[in-house]
Amino acid sequence: MVKTISYQHTNSYEILNPIVDTTENIWVCFHGLGYLARFFKRYFTKLDPSKNAVIVLQAPSKYYLGDTFKHVGSSWLTRLDTDQEMKNNLNYIDAVMKEEQLHNDSRIVFMGYSQGVSIATRYLLHYNTHVKALVMHSGSIPNEFNELDGEKFRHLSGKNIHISGTKDEYITAELIQRENKKIEMLFGTECELHRPDIKHEVDTDLLVEISNTL
């Protein structure tokens, strides 16, 4: 017999650039599988700190990477108890948004990388408030979304950006075809596509270019 119980959980997050009077974009970032927020934030150091505030969220489930048990990574969720874990993630992100007084701020940019794309898109639908942009970098949009969700997405983000490296070792022709269908269903033609010549890695220069066009 399996039972569930609710309890209070504490988690951290990182601030690279704080919000200041000149801030134009507030990046709320969701890292990929195996990362920690403290290390993922380095990918945003090229952004102009006077215009770009950067908040990097921390996935809750931590584990040792490799066989040496020296380096720690983290994960947002797995195929086990996915709905329950996603609800926990939503509660955590809501708490950060409240702590940083971000609700209804028109400068918000949700950015997800790899596994973080699934969290960023799910959270945007949960947040259900218009944001400045949604940046989806080297990750898959969840399969659970449907055409009704697409109608919602079209009103939630002022700019939708999808990035996929041409040398990404995790991408196949079948995956590209499936992802393109999801992009069309959710965003129609209102999605800016970037196909940089990179592997499965964060394109820091492209992020700077994007920040200048938001």
The C-alpha R_g of the chain, in whole angstroms, comes to: 17
What CATH number has the domain spanning 13-161+171-205?
3.40.50.1820
Rounded CA gap, 90 and 122, in Å? 9
pLDDT of residue 34: 96
- The residues spanned by each domain of the chain are 13-161+171-205
pLDDT band at 96 (very low <50, low <70, confident <90, very high): very high
Across all residues in the chain, what is the average pLDDT?
95
pLDDT of residue 66: 86
User: What is the SS3 assignment for 139-206?
Assistant: CCCCCCCCHHHHHHHHHHECCEEEECCCCCCCCCHHHHHHHHHHHHHHHCCCCEEECCCCCCCCCHHH
Residue 18 has pLDDT above 90, yes or no: yes
pLDDT of residue 129: 97
pLDDT of residue 2: 87
Cβ–Cβ under 8 Å, residues 46 and 202: no
Percent of the residues in the chain that have a pLDDT greater than 90, as a whole number: 90
Instruction: Write the pLDDT tens digit of every residue in 195-212.
Output: 999 999 999 999 999 999
First to last CA, the chain: 51
Residue 42 has pLDDT above 90, yes or no: yes
pLDDT band at 69 (very low <50, low <70, confident <90, very high): confident
Q: Enter the pTM of the model.
A: 0.96
pLDDT band at 154 (very low <50, low <70, confident <90, very high): confident
Instruction: Write the pLDDT tens digit of every residue in 159-194.
Output: 999 999 999 999 998 999 999 999 999 998 899 999
Amino acid, single-letter form, for residue 63: Y
> Mean pLDDT over residues 40-64, rounded?
97
Instruction: Write the pLDDT tens digit of every residue in 97-119.
Output: 999 999 999 999 999 999 999 99
